[in-house]
Amino acid sequence: MLDNTHLHITTWVLGIVLFFIALALMKGANAKGAKIVHMILRLMYVLIIFTGGWLFFQFSSIDAALYGVKFLLGILVIGFMEMILVRTKKHKSVKVMWILFVIALLATLYFGFSLPIGFDFLR
């Protein structure tokens, strides 16, 4: 159980780090580097969804509705990350996407850490 959770946390932490690296490269003059990092990030999206789905199907019998909400919020986070990068590349406004991204990310983190297989930081 714990190994699967750690694998999932590792993939989404790497995904967020790669997201900010790709964003910084896009805003800079390194278009080729941004494209490479963006492609690697898209691979991380697949790994995040795979490990999240793995955990979902492994533990959904505990509280299927809440884990389902968390799964959907995680998909929304990935969608907002991708929309921010694509709209930034096209020089379009991303203000609303950033707001929605932060809300979805915080909600996903809350659900992820408060559900039964999450971590209790106050112990």
Token pair recorded at residue 74: 């995680």
Domain spans, the chain: 4-114
> Quick check: 84 and 27 in contact, CB under 8 A?
no
Could you report the per-residue pLDDT of 94-107, keeping only the tens digit for each? Answer: 999 999 999 999 99
Helix (H, G, I), strand (E, B) or coil at 110: helix
Could you report the per-residue pLDDT of 75-95, keeping only the tens digit for each? Answer: 999 999 999 999 999 999 999
Cα 40 to Cα 5: distance, rounded to the nearest angstrom: 22
Could you report the per-residue pLDDT of 6-51, keeping only the tens digit for each? Answer: 888 899 999 999 999 999 999 887 889 999 999 999 999 999 999 9
DSSP string, 34-95: HHHHHHHHHHHHHHHHHHHHHHHHHHTTT-HHHHHHHHHHHHHHHHHHHHHHHHHHTT---H
Cα 27 to Cα 30: distance, rounded to the nearest angstrom: 8
